[in-house]
Structure 1
């Protein structure tokens, strides 16, 4: 069984989402003998954001020579995702949504004919057999019913993205309020780490 581990926080060892995503992977390693893990740090090896040249190349136009390395990286990222049975993502909230590094990765895996297709009935996801677990960290409180819920565009966006490609049961472990104060951060992190240790086997 193959697991793809993605981190997107720019905070390195100070990141809550990185700590929780690592705990998730550790839990799945313990419960799944022989688990094959591939790790990608989107801040250490960032992907370029989409350009007109990227889209033209995707539609069959000749690509400029300088784009070749990035197109190769795109192909590698897509293959990593397609070959994974389980995907674990560390996703902090930055300015109410996902990090731009994670958006660049998503732009490489939402590919028509690979992870979704169009039909007379509308778009159809092709990646529904995968298990996706997302470790979310948020500085404030954005859960349903909270005063800031309308500004929550991280979990809602990722649910929509993965639902679009057929993954409708993505799992989320959330550490909320980590910037409210040290006590809130400690409690949120402890709760998220405990949730990670309770995950079902891969």
Structure 2
């Protein structure tokens, strides 16, 4: 069994989403002794954002740009790691109502027609089957369903929709929100998230 662990927070050791992904990974290691973990720090080593040069290379044009070529190799590694993984653990703090740009750059490399999804007469079909995903979601405000700001939430909903589009429908969200509302609110949010992680079953 293999687990792909992705972090995207720019806060390093101060990141709550990184703490939560680490705890989720530890929980799976306890549940599945011997599980292989592949980790990617997307903030520390981000892919380039898509460009015309990338698209030309995808369509078969040769590139003489060393930076683009190295980035294409990185994108291929992303795809290989994703296909190999049985479990995905994604750290996704909310930045400006959505996800961090390094995580979006990763998505742009793995959401590829003909590889992770395909178009059919009945509509798009996800090709990633039999995978589980765990999203460590953190945010300063409160955006969960029923809150006044719920309509502004484009973080969890985007990731859940994207994963479903690719065929990953078994998704668990571990959430710590309202963390900018004071120390007590932050402590309580993290504590609830840690309880949810401890309840993850095999």
Q: Shorter-chain-normalised TM-score: which range? A: over 0.9
The answer for unaligned runs of 5 or more in structure 2 is none
How far is the alpha carbon of 1:61 from its aligned partner? 2.0
1:32-81 CA distances to partner (integer Å, 9 max, x unpaired)? 01100001001111110000111121122222332110110010111011
Q: Report whether the alignment pairs 1:18 with 2:18.
A: yes
Runs of 4 or more off by more than 4 Å in structure 1?
A: none
2:7 aligns to what? Answer: 7
Aligned pairs for 1:1-202 (under 5 A) are 1-66=1-66, 67-201=68-202
Query: 2:92, 2:99 within 8 Å by CA — same for their partners in 1?
Result: yes
CA distance in 1, matches of 2:22, 2:75: 24
The CA distance in 2 between the partners of 1:24 and 1:54, in whole Å, is 34
Q: Give the C-alpha shift of residue 170 in structure 1.
A: 1.1
1:77-101 deviation digits (Å, cap 9, x = unpaired):
1101111010101100000000001
Give the conservation status (yes or no) of the 8 Å contact 2:89–2:133: yes
RMSD: 0.9
**TM (normalized to structure 1)?**
0.97
Q: In structure 1, what is the Cα distance between the partners aligned to 2:53 and 2:64?
A: 8
CA contact (8 A) 2:131 2:170 kept: no
Structure 1 alignment gaps of length 5 or more: none
The alpha-carbon deviation at position 122 of structure 1 amounts to 1.6
Cα deviation for residue 114 of structure 1 reads 1.3
TM-score between both structures, scaled by the size of structure 2? 0.97
- Give, in whole Å, the separation in 1 of the partners of 2:129 and 2:176: 26
Secondary structure of 1:76's counterpart equals helix
Secondary structure of the residue aligned to 1:174 is: strand
